[in-house]
Amino acid sequence: MFMRPLRDDAHLAPLEVWHAEEFAAHLDRAREHIRPWVGPAFVTDDVTGARATLRRYAERAAGDGARMYGILREGVLVGGVMFTVFDAAGGSCELGCWVEPAAEGHGLVTQACRLLLEWAFVTRGLHRAEWHCRADNDRSSAVAERLGMTLEGVRREAWPYGGARHDKQLWAVLAPEWRAAAGEERPAR
| Footprint on this chain of ligand COA (rule: CB under 6 A) | 33-34, 37-38, 97-99, 104-110, 133, 137, 139-140, 142-143, 146
The nearest distance, CB 155 to ligand COA, in angstroms, is 13
Smaller CB distance to ligand COA: residue 16 or 130?
130
The nearest distance, CB 143 to ligand COA, in angstroms, is 5
The nearest distance, CB 125 to ligand COA, in angstroms, is 25
Pairing state between β 164-174 and 67-73: unpaired
Smaller CB distance to ligand COA: residue 128 or 140?
140
Smaller CB distance to ligand COA: residue 38 or 170?
38
Helix (H/G/I), strand (E/B), else coil: 79: strand
23: left (phi over 0), alpha (psi -120 to 50) or beta: alpha
Q: Rounded distance, CA 187 to CA 189, Å? A: 6
Inter-residue contact 108 to 6 (CB < 8 Å): yes
Residue 164: phi and psi, rounded to 5, are -130, 170
The nearest distance, CB 91 to ligand COA, in angstroms, is 22
Contacts of 7 (CB under 8 A, 6+ apart): 108, 111
The nearest distance, CB 104 to ligand COA, in angstroms, is 4
Which residue is at the shortest CB distance from ligand COA? 107
Among 77, 81, 78, 141, smallest CA distance to 111 is for 81
Q: What angle do CA 50, 54, 58 make, to 5 degrees?
A: 170
- 188: DSSP letter: P
Smaller CB distance to ligand COA: residue 124 or 139?
139
